[in-house]
Amino acid sequence: MTVARSSRRGEVVAHGVRFEFDGVPALRDVDLHVRAGEFFTLLGPSGSGKSTLLRIVAGLLDPVRGSVHIDDRDVTFVPTQRRDIGFVFQNYALFPHLTVAENIEFGLKARRVEATQRRQRVDEMIALVSLHGLGHRYPGQLSGGQQQRVALGRALAQRPRVLLLDEPLGALDRRLRQELGAEVRRIQQEAETTAIYVTHDQEEAFVLSDRVGVMRGGLIHQIGTPQELYRRPLDLFVARFLGETNLFDSEVVAQEGGTTRVRIGSGVIDCQRNDALNVGDPAHCAMRPEQVRVTRSTNSEMTTGRFQPFGSAIVIESRFLGQRHRVKLTIGGQTCTADLDPSGDIPEVNETVGLSIAAGLAALVEREPASKVDPALEVQHVDAHDS
């Protein structure tokens, strides 16, 4: 196999995949296209169906309907052991009766790779996951982070087309998670394999991924690069699930050029264009805390430059957090958060300030029914407009 071709291995296409647990749908006709060689993350709260989708790609679960292709080969009815994948389990699932080297060797033996080649590959993998000198240990004698590396090496030993990772860092503490996250990314790049990674941790998803698919209630809500998802959420769920967001009730007043103009309270601001909205529609205007600008004088430079004011607020809380200074404000009975430069001008508590935002920065998402408030609480429910 040539280098050029091998670097293009591992395209995964799932089409119309549906899965049910005891008649309750866990995946609702999901489509997924993961490009060869890319690091793709399925991100979502627990119960959103991300692990189920991963297991269907692995063949550990059979979909009710739909198909899965790996590199143009229909594998929907191919048993797991012949799908040419690697899988890293959340609890690693290392074989406790086998040493580290034997764990890594397992897949090669099962595929009847010749002995000298096998040994060579095991040594390569041990080097790749930095476990020098630990090959003879049993999994029980390793730390959590080391076990995780074994699981990774074991999954990659047979050079799979696709590496599937089911919250592999979930069991580790925060520091180790960051360290190993970077490691996972490096190893994936070196191994030149496609990776599909499942997590509920947004930070992890952003650090590792080329692209991210946000899932909820058995559906993929939005797919995009971390930047796209953060800057341009397409619905309320994505807006709230990724990072912090201030949501303001607004009304569309015009669609102009590259922006959609909305009215918030007393102000009118230009947001990123959202073609799904018509003039007169209510919408949520989503602003990130670092996008909100706070000015001490309520009148000054109101309309100057590209900043557009949308009301005045009272500071109710002010906290220094190191890299940023966070103020909580109340505006029209609603609480809003703004992150300021800590070395800049910080308003006092109880001070009245003006709020503004740069034109074309805020995102607009459709208003959802009132019951859809907390995304974490309603993962199992059916989304009326989604299905």
Structure tokens at 177: 């998670």
The answer to the question of residue 376 lying near other proteins (CB under 8 A) is no
The answer to the question of residue 58 lying near other proteins (CB under 8 A) is yes
List binders of other proteins among 22-51 (CB under 8 A): 26, 46-47, 51
CA angle, 291 then 296 then 300, to 5°: 90
Work out which of 106, 124, 224, 334 binds other proteins, going by CB under 8 A: 106
Give residue 316's identity as a one-letter amino acid code.
Answer: I
Work out which of 87, 241, 248, 310 binds other proteins, going by CB under 8 A: 87
Shortest distance, position 70 Cβ to other proteins, whole Å: 13
Distant-in-sequence, close-in-space partners of 44: CB < 8 Å, separation ≥ 6: 50, 200, 214, 215, 216, 241
Q: Which segment (151-159, 173-181, 258-266, 273-281) binds other proteins by CB under 8 A?
A: 151-159
Q: Which segment (29-37, 152-160, 224-232, 266-274) binds other proteins by CB under 8 A?
A: 152-160
Residue (23 or 305) nearer to other proteins, CB: 23
Q: Which segment (103-111, 202-210, 234-242, 345-353) binds other proteins by CB under 8 A?
A: 103-111
R_g (Cα) of the chain, nearest Å: 25
Work out which of 141, 266, 297, 380 binds other proteins, going by CB under 8 A: 141
Residue (166 or 339) nearer to other proteins, CB: 166
The answer to the question of residue 125 lying near other proteins (CB under 8 A) is no
The answer to the question of residue 188 lying near other proteins (CB under 8 A) is no
Residue that has been written with the tokens 């860092």 in this structure: 169
Work out which of 147, 209, 260, 308 binds other proteins, going by CB under 8 A: 147
Question: How far is Cα 207 from Cα 68, in angstroms, rounded to an integer?
Answer: 27
Q: Note the helical H segments in the chain.
A: 3-6, 50-58, 100-110, 115-128, 144-156, 174-191, 202-208, 226-231, 236-241
Question: How far is Cα 106 from Cα 280, in angstroms, rounded to an integer?
Answer: 63
Residue that has been written with the tokens 């602003």 in this structure: 287
Contact criterion met (CB below 8 Å) for 321 and 346:
no
Structure tokens at 120: 């060579």
Short-list 81, 210, 100, 191, CA closest to 149: 100
The answer to the question of residue 320 lying near other proteins (CB under 8 A) is no
With CB under 8 A as the rule, give the number of residues binding other proteins: 46
Residue numbers of the site for other proteins (CB under 8 A)?
26, 46-47, 51-52, 55, 58-61, 79-82, 84-87, 89-97, 106-107, 109-111, 138-141, 144, 147, 154-155, 157-158, 164, 166, 170-171
